[in-house]
Amino acid sequence: MDPDYVKEAHTSASTLHNFMFAAAFRGKNPFLTPKQVAIENAQGTLNLMNFFGNFDPIDLSDAELANFYTVSNEGYRFFHFGYNYRVMWFEAFKAHHVVELQAQGMHIDRQLLLADGDTATVLRLTAEEALADPYRRFCTLFFPPMPRFRFSSGEQMLIEHALLESSDADAANTLHLSVDALKKRWRSIYRKVDTIAPEVLFEAESGAARRRTLLHHLRQHLEELRPYRNAERAMKSTTCRRRT
């Protein structure tokens, strides 16, 4: 999210979600572009606004619900781990959500009484708060290691498709790549890994084994999929943009 919109929404009489979506409908986009995300990420100033549905408390003794909860948590980590966050925001409307989020590291920031009698609770987690309590679930998302391989954005997207078990044909179609271009991109990925960390694929002999070994490694190192940029270059880019 654009930090200025978060700041304005936080002081408004509206819920944060409504404020953000109203701005989007007016054509005032509160969401950062991938390039802007990379710049904010390099500077450690990302604001993450979490949008999620309201549901009743989950009975973990129910195997199906327990599996749903596990998959949800794994999915959240997959899509959110590896960024350099400054603040993470949630807004909850049910008391049990507030309690659960607090147990996972969030802090109540404000509570707003709504016209229908419900209460909207804004919860936040800053980098400083996460550092003070580093073992809670959401706190662990604040301190990923820096990526080593420096994949391009195109390479990151291809890897993400592979991690989500898309076939090469489906990935090529979605990314608008020819078969040869897709193979060239995979060769570039392997070359970077072999150059920087040859031990990762050292024992993988066949092409299938290399792909399987690489994806297993990257599932444990999701920071490699995130849009890091050199911090000094990001600062220069931001300064030039402000001057213009």
Question: What is the tally of structural domains in the chain?
Answer: 2
**Together in a domain, 74 and 117:** yes
Residue percentage of the chain with pLDDT more than 90? 53
Instruction: Using pLDDT thresholds of 50, 70 and 90, give the confidence band for residue 88.
Output: very high
Is residue 119 located within the same domain as residue 52?
yes
Q: What is the mean pLDDT of residues 181-204?
A: 94
**Stretch 195-215: mean pLDDT:** 93
C-alpha separations of 200 from 34, 149, 182 in Å: 29, 12, 22
Task: Write the pLDDT tens digit of every residue in 116-157.
Answer: 888 999 999 999 999 999 999 999 999 989 899 999 989 999
Q: Are residues 180 and 126 in the same domain?
A: no
Task: Give the domain range for residue 98.
Answer: 3-142
Sign of CA dihedral 217, 145, 133, 56: negative
DSSP 38-85: HHHHHHT-EEEEP-----PPP-TTSHHHHHHHHHHHHHHHHHHTT--E
Residue 237 and residue 42 in contact, taking contact as beta carbons nearer than 8 Å: no
Q: Pick the residue with more confidence: 218 or 20?
A: 218
One-letter amino acid for residue 46 of the chain: L
Instruction: Identify the residue with better confidence: 237 or 16.
Output: 16
Q: Tell me whether residue 230 is in a domain.
A: no
Is pLDDT above 60 for 234?
A: no
